[in-house]
Structure 1
Amino acid sequence: MSASPTAPARDDERRSPFVRLSALLAGNEPGRAPLSAAVGEPQHAMPGFAGAVLAENIASFSRYPRAEGTPTFRGAVARWLQRRFNLPRPVDPESEVLALNGSREGLFSAALVARRLLSHKARPVMLLPNPFYAAYAAGAEAAGCEAMVLPTTRGSGWLPDLDALTPELLERTVAIYLASPANPQGAVASRAYLSRLLELVRQHDAYLFSDECYSEIYLGEEAPTGILEVAGPDYARAIAFNSLSKRSSLPGLRAGFCAGDPEFLKAFLAFRWVAAPQVPEPLQAVAAAALDDEAHVEHSRALYRAKFDLADRILEGRFGYERPGGGFFLWLDVSHLATAECTGGEAAALKLWREQGLRTVPGGYLARQDLTGANPCQNWLRVALVHDLPTSEEVLNRLVAALD
């Protein structure tokens, strides 16, 4: 078996899923008071100390922030990584950590640097799971690489099948993007999977960009493995991306970080000094305080587990529902709604909006078609369980009322 080749991206596949959703719903009135379960924007309370820390550091808005981040923030990142993951050695905050204006910005711009460092590769590609976070493909194509999608199916554990990666394809590969827990299926990559993937990356002179922004939203007892745990002792070719958006319910803070390969981060920092948005120092102070506190994270994680307990009860036997390993999305099979004119995902999203006022995302908007012209996610629906418990129960009940 080999990786499925990708058809050239259509213009609509390059548009934001949320722009496409707005176009789909335009002209349709909501059947009930509107309720959004479309955007992965945590609605849990932010840490109670955030406002006070921001006020204490407000004077720092008077100066430009440094591209690499403050020593305080990078130190907090290094301490958190050491506490959270079983690292082969402590990460050096001076050379192996950089501040990001949220993980999305870093995941995009890292592609430009990787291509520059591997400019000798002919017919360059970047490999993405399908479905994927839109920033991956945008970064790959901005870097002049083909964004090639790799199938993720129930049979492959909702992760790319590593046996499908041929040596010929890997020789062309500049970087591989992987999210664990995955967005949207919530699959968690095992230590063995990550080790094998990183070995392939190193053998073929590529980089592994590990999107770990859902790492703290896990629904079992065992925390997901991070790429740095298997990348020691030098962390070569491995870069982990994370942020405070999901972990600490601070999506508007726009504070994230990347950590790992010091040679890559040296080049990335040089790029960031001239071309990347910096993170204001007061916001870095809030992020550092949040990284040093686990109580609010544990409370938030308990809320997510309670919401999926509800989903287990309400969605049992419906829509191919499976409790994910992590993340906060439902990934639902709505193929029974497909028609000749409309995919199942689009039909479900329209029906939910028209009848229940519930905003959701067709799975096909998060993926790309293969050479057969088929989008493997066109009959799936993504639903974000980001609200409080009563509102999340309302989301689940509206789903069943409209789609069952």
Structure 2
Amino acid sequence: MSGPALPDFPWDSLTGARERAQAHPGGLVDLSVGTPVDPVPELLRAALSGPAAGEPGYPTAHGPASLREAVVASMARRFGVPGIDPAAVLPTIGSKELVAWLPTLLGLGAGDTVVIPELAYPTYEVGARLAGADHVRSDGLTAAGPARVRLVWLNSPSNPTGRVLPPEHLRKVVAWARERGAVVASDECYLGLPGEADPAPRSVLHPEISDGDHTGLIAVHSLSKISNLAGYRAGFVTGDPELVSGLLAVRKHAGMIVSRPVQAAVEAAVSDDAHVAEQAARYDGRRSRLRAGLLEAGLEIEHSRSGLYLWATGDEPCRETVDRLAGLGILVTPGEFYGPAGARHVRVALTASDERIDAAVERLGAS
């Protein structure tokens, strides 16, 4: 029996470029994947190995009240989103699993349509396919045509472009979806890395966007990037209490539960803002240096003021840019991974050590 038709895992196609880059005398500078390289803050390591590590019983899918209350406080403090009901907070096993399974968990299937960004993290499409639903790529509000739209994905700041959607656009998407009874799911993985964006990125739950009404809205958060917890698989979802309650019910039955020590680390992470500011400053410095190097090498940068990536073009097919940079020992991601509109761009991640970023900048300047 075969499962749903899924695309090939795109990063598998980078083997040749990786081997070429690894052969560089100065070694590989891997800017192809947004995986953290900086240390896990000691505060969070201590929480992981603290009292929760000795609890022998099963954790709850909903997590302890203290965790949910800490998330509520952090959403108000960090992102200006007041009034979240602690019951409408649900820890997740990172954010990717929630992104992939959300259409299924919401009951979507054949005949339903998921709207994803024109340039999109591949898992949005995978999630629609897993549910047996259709998907449409669109940054506008009319491309879905007569389709029965049940779910609309937002991602701001964007992966791969670093684009920040203005508040007026977010408001229009929310209004459009509410007119059609569709859920808006906002992937806010990079919201804590505002960079140089003005105005700052907004959560879909922000009163300026939602009018203080979270009906039909879900915000998906990850601690992988802002807290270096990719290895912990730590995230949460919050928003419409009814939608979150439904997700909780299914996840309890399915055993989709975050381990108790990781729940403790999540609580510690959302309760401390200092380590987030420190990590964001690291990425801001890397963004500035790497942007200058790419510009000096003749590439153009679009958007890329926030988040974790630079969206660059050499005005040539993206694989040619990948190969050219691989010759300098620098591995980047072809823009085609994120949709047809990325065919002449590459995504350059900021997730390398300062030493490796500086090596890349030096090579770009000499190219």
Which amino acid in 2 is paired with 1:205?
Answer: G
Q: Structure 1: give runs of 5+ residues left out of the alignment.
A: 1-10, 151-159, 337-343, 368-374
* Deviation sequence 1:74-131 (CA, Å, 0-9, x none): 11111101112233x411112x111100111111221112234xx7xx7321011122
**1:388: which partner in 2?**
353
Task: Give the Å deviation of 1:219.
Answer: 1.2
Which of 307, 310, 326 is residue 306 of structure 2 equivalent to? 326
Deviation >4 Å, runs of 4+: 23-29, 399-402
Residues 125 and 148 of structure 1 are in contact (CA less than 8 Å); yes or no, is this contact kept in structure 2? yes
Change (3 A) 1:165 1:149: closer
Task: Give the Å deviation of 1:65.
Answer: 1.6
Q: How does 1:57-136 map to 2 (within 5 A)?
A: 57-60=51-54, 62-87=56-81, 89-94=82-87, 96-116=88-108, 123-136=111-124
**1:215: which partner in 2?**
191
**1:16: which partner in 2?**
9
The size of the alignment, in residue pairs, is 358
Identity of aligned residues (%): 29
Q: Structure 2: give runs of 5+ residues left out of the alignment.
A: none
Which amino acid in 2 is paired with 1:228?
Answer: L
Which of 148, 168, 182 is residue 146 of structure 2 equivalent to? 168
Q: CA RMSD of the aligned region, Å? A: 2.3
**1:246: which partner in 2?**
225
Q: How does 1:173-212 map to 2 (within 5 A)?
A: 173-212=149-188
Residues 30 and 352 of structure 2 are in contact (CA less than 8 Å); yes or no, is this contact kept in structure 1? no
Distance 2:347 2:64 in 1: 37
**2:126: which partner in 1?**
138
Residues 113 and 149 of structure 2 are in contact (CA less than 8 Å); yes or no, is this contact kept in structure 1? yes
Q: How does 1:180-329 map to 2 (within 5 A)?
A: 180-220=156-196, 222-229=199-206, 230-275=209-254, 277-316=256-295, 318-322=298-302, 324-329=304-309
Distance 2:212 2:321 in 1: 48
Residues 91 and 237 of structure 2 are in contact (CA less than 8 Å); yes or no, is this contact kept in structure 1? yes
Change (3 A) 1:85 1:28: closer
Q: Does 1:42 align with 2:43?
A: no
* Deviation sequence 1:310-336 (CA, Å, 0-9, x none): 134333363221462311211111333
Give secondary structure in 1 for the equivalent of 2:14.
Answer: helix
Distance 1:292 1:203 in 2: 36
Distance 2:171 2:255 in 1: 31
Q: Does 1:377 align with 2:342?
A: yes
Task: Give the Å deviation of 1:72.
Answer: 2.1
TM-score between the two structures when normalised by the length of structure 2 = 0.90
Distance 2:226 2:347 in 1: 20
Task: Give the Å deviation of 1:254.
Answer: 0.6
Residues 187 and 326 of structure 1 are in contact (CA less than 8 Å); yes or no, is this contact kept in structure 2? yes
TM-score between the two structures when normalised by the length of structure 1 = 0.82
Q: Does 1:362 align with 2:334?
A: yes
Task: Give the Å deviation of 1:55.
Answer: 2.1
